[in-house]
Amino acid sequence: MRYIDIMKALLVAVLWGGSFVAAKLVLEYFPPIFSMVIRSIIVISILLSFVGLPNISLKKVLCMSFSYNIGHMVLLYLGIKLGLPVSAAVIATQMQVPITSILSIIILKEKMHLKQVIGMLISFIGIVIIVGHPSIMDKIFPFMIVIIAAFFFALFNIQIKQVGNLNILSYILWSSILILPQLMILSYISEPISWSSIFIADVKLWLSIAYISMVNIIAFLLWISLLKIYPVSLVMPFALCIPVFAILGSALILSEYISWHLIIGGTITLIGVAIITIKFTNLTRYQST
């Protein structure tokens, strides 16, 4: 890979890792669904003036948006809101990789290779080690919510593969437009929120919301641009840096305690994910590029 592209991939990992920390700060003030409402409004405001219609049907956009925005993001935010540490949440989210492999066999009829089976088993062992720590056992309900969120992220991955070439900016805009009414209704029904609280929120909160919204656009664009140039197996290893930056951020900014259970279990989980995603033949082929 060119050095500029390596820097792009690392920037994506930093941005997405930081979004977990920013989400924690936002969720200390706003409930999960309402946070998604605000994020969607900001994204729409940024993109509406210059982005056109998507290159797939709006029905498909809505289905994909439900998987990602409600199934994944709302449940992820709910798990963090219920007290799951950011460090544990970001590791649990990585389970979307083995779950994607399983769904690809069930839905896309792809063949499973021995490497995938080994990677899945190692990932599950890592998760078991994390869950075994008392601090996570006390938060087992939000932890399982984030695992379910990882399932919906995996389903979203399958949907992307099914639609093929996707105009990412149009998707981000129209998925936000189509899902916004549902988010507003769900928030109104299930979350006690005073609209006046928006006007008294401090600068740190609004900066965190703006950061999450911008990351949703910038990181996706950079990531997709890299996937168009290089093999998936060469780009995906950089995704393994996301938990590293998220955990560093949670320790430095949120002062979260990082236990040895989490370090060992998280490392084992990421090794399993790496085994599933990385094709070492491609890495060898491009290592001098």
- Which of 81-95, 141-155, 231-245, 270-284 ranks highest by mean pLDDT? 141-155
Contacts 24+ apart (CB under 8 A), 231-237: 231/279, 231/282, 231/286, 232/277, 233/277, 233/278, 233/279, 233/282, 233/283, 234/1, 234/282, 234/283, 234/286, 235/9, 236/277, 236/278, 237/274, 237/277, 237/278, 237/283
pLDDT at 70 over 90: yes
Spatial separation of the C-alpha atoms in residues 184 and 7, rounded to whole Å: 38
Token pair for 255: 């002062």
**Between 78 and 204, the higher pLDDT residue:** 78
Spatial separation of the C-alpha atoms in residues 240 and 143, rounded to whole Å: 20
pLDDT of residue 233: 60
Spatial separation of the C-alpha atoms in residues 2 and 77, rounded to whole Å: 35
**Between 283 and 41, the higher pLDDT residue:** 41
pLDDT at 254 over 90: no
pLDDT at 285 over 50: no
Ranking 81-90, 147-156, 244-253, 273-282 by mean pLDDT, the lowest is 273-282
pLDDT at 283 over 60: no
Spatial separation of the C-alpha atoms in residues 263 and 226, rounded to whole Å: 29
Ranking 58-62, 128-132, 249-253 by mean pLDDT, the lowest is 128-132
**Between 110 and 146, the higher pLDDT residue:** 146
> Residue 231: pLDDT band by 50, 70, 90 thresholds?
low
Ranking 55-64, 125-134, 249-258, 278-287 by mean pLDDT, the lowest is 278-287
Q: What are the CA-CA distances from residue 23 to residues 63, 79, 109, 242 (Å)?
A: 24, 11, 36, 15
pLDDT in tens, 2-38: 888 888 888 988 999 999 999 999 998 889 999 999 9
